[in-house]
Structure 1
Amino acid sequence: MQPKLILIEGLPGFGKSTAAQLVYEILTEAGNNAQLFLEGNLDHPADYDGAACLTKAEYDELLGMWADSRHILSPRTTFHDGYYLVEYRKIVNEHEPLLPKEWMDTLARKDVYELPLAQHRKLITARWGQFTEMALQGTDTYVFDCSFIQNPVTMGMIKNEAADEYMISYILELEAIIKSLNPLLIVIEQDDLEYAFRKAVQERAQEWSEGFIKYFTTQGYGLGQGHQGLEGTLQVLEARRELEEKIYNGLTIAKKKANNSSYDLNAYKQALAEVLAEYF
């Protein structure tokens, strides 16, 4: 059975998004039906990006405060397991000039990635379950960028300083959910982590690097270890790489590693094609 799900993972700056795009190209060029979901895609079928989670009381309060915006809120709201999930970033994209700032600030504070870790995990695992059921009904192969390991580890280890054992159990729970999709995990590696991350910092907008460094050093693991600035961020990334290697070693799904140290796009695509040829 061919994989119905391909998971691309690796550290920031290693070339995950490029790999996901190349994998999608290889699949479609070979005539396979595929769907690509990169990091930040608001339509991601197995994750919540830009969604707020509210209790009924919080949702009713929001509607009561700004009743005139009900027609904007309702179409972007779903109900799951006792909570209202509001796609607030889509609402911003569609209606920003019409929205009260206080309304959007309230929703941003209730983002799924701002919830307590246990509640967040429950929502995410349920979401993966819904996706798996849906994907089994079709013929497409899904290509996901960083949602399987990176997002849980970022929320658990980086934000909440969760123990390795907790993070390993979290990913193993996700693995059990998606096994029926015969998934393939491809982890992107670099020989020199520091070089790869510094290269990303130089090439990307200053806003990205400043936000990244702040996120990795002012909360959770980075704060607990006393890491600061760019150098501290590199130390956090080294610790994250060690954790992700433990996770990788404990997984039983099909898994491969691809090295992107040369930054040669043609060679990179060829290496990924050789990996995919084993399964397609």
Structure 2
Amino acid sequence: MENKLILVEGIPGSGKTTTARKIKEKLIAEGKKVVLYEEGMSHPADMSWNAYLSEEEYNNFLSKCLKMWETSEKTISKEELKHRIEIQIRREHNHVILAYTKIDFPEGNYWGLVGEVAAKEICDGRRSLKEFTEIHLRRWESFGEKALLDDNIYIFECAFLQNHIFELLGVYEKSDEAILTYLTNLLNKVKCLNPCIVYIEPVDVEKVIMKAADERKAPNESRKDWIDEIANWVSNTNYGTNHRLAGREGVFSFCKERLRIDKAMIRNLDIPVTLINRD
């Protein structure tokens, strides 16, 4: 059986998005049907950058957006605004999962409402580890069952190692053994898809991160540069606080630990791995 699920992984800035897109292009050129889910998209299994809302919470958010439209420049219709929001939702188990960063708002002022739904993510310790685990296991199992019924090949960017190790290491400081157990349980939910990993391993962690930092500078002074946002996240995690990580050096240290754990996981997980060395 061919690999119906390809998991593209690596530390931040290693080139996961570019690699995932190239794999998609290659498979399409071979006549395959391919669906790529990049980080932050409305996702069938991952929860990163997706808010987990009750119907009431979602309806309140939608109402506030439509109310804001009344005093906006009205560059689009109210119906179009509602459509742009609704195409970023999935309804599952009496909840609405909203890919809030992907909403194509017509004006920047709408983003003032996004903080409310961002706070409803299940990542970064906003839910208990038990809830975080149960929601993901349920979603991965459901995805595996549905994906088995079609002839698509699915590509997930950073949805397996990165987004889960960030939580398990950064928030809960779990051991390698605990992380391996967690990832094994997750992997078992999609075993029917014969998953494989494409891992991009940097030769020099600091060089890779700084290259990404140069490419991801903020467009204006109203936002922080990517590297500064990452540094802020790292320093405020339990792991970062307890290891006194700060600034760019803190990012380097955290990503080196991430790389060590990643390599330990792919050595011990029962899954085919293709390594790509990035200089």
**TM-score normalised over the length of structure 1:** 0.79
Shift of 1:59: 4.3
Whether the 8 Å CA contact 1:51–1:85 is kept in 2: the answer is: no
Shift of 1:20: 0.6
Whether the 8 Å CA contact 2:51–2:100 is kept in 1: the answer is: no
Shift of 1:117: 2.3
Shift of 1:180: 0.8
Shift of 1:112: 2.3
Whether the 8 Å CA contact 2:180–2:269 is kept in 1: the answer is: no
Q: Name the CA distance, whole Å, in 2 between partners of 1:61 and 1:44.
A: 20
Match of 1:13 in 2: 13
Q: Name the CA distance, whole Å, in 2 between partners of 1:211 and 1:84.
A: 29
AA matched with 1:35: V
Task: Name the Cα RMSD after superposition.
Answer: 3.0
User: Tell me, what secondary structure is at the counterpart of 1:112?
Assistant: coil
From 100, 106, 119, give the equivalent of 2:116.
106
Summarize deviations over 1:73-100 as a string: whole Å, max 9, x none: 99646351xx523416179545878979
Match of 1:193 in 2: 205
User: Tell me, what secondary structure is at the counterpart of 1:125?
Assistant: helix
**TM-score normalised over the length of structure 2:** 0.79
Relative distance call for 1:35 and 1:246 in structure 2 (3 A) is same
Q: Name the CA distance, whole Å, in 1 between partners of 2:58 and 2:4.
A: 40
From 189, 210, 219, give the equivalent of 1:177.
189
Give the unaligned 5+ runs of structure 1. 262-280
Relative distance call for 1:27 and 1:55 in structure 2 (3 A) is closer
Map residues 175-254 of structure 1 onto 2, 5 A cutoff. Answer: 175-206=187-218, 207-254=225-272
Match of 1:164 in 2: 176
Match of 2:35 in 1: 35
Match of 1:274 in 2: none
Count of aligned residue pairs for this structure pair: 254
User: Of Structure 1 and Structure 2, which has the larger fraction of its residues in helix?
Assistant: 1
Identity %: 28
AA matched with 2:184: L
AA matched with 1:237: C
Shift of 1:139: 0.5
Whether the 8 Å CA contact 1:37–1:144 is kept in 2: the answer is: yes
Relative distance call for 1:161 and 1:84 in structure 2 (3 A) is same
Whether the 8 Å CA contact 1:168–1:247 is kept in 2: the answer is: yes
Shift of 1:61: 10
From 108, 111, 128, give the equivalent of 2:140.
128
Summarize deviations over 1:160-185 as a string: whole Å, max 9, x none: 32332222111111111111101111
Match of 1:51 in 2: 50
Shift of 1:159: 3.0
Q: Name the CA distance, whole Å, in 1 between partners of 2:14 and 2:49.
A: 24
Shift of 1:200: 1.4
Whether the 8 Å CA contact 1:59–1:84 is kept in 2: the answer is: no
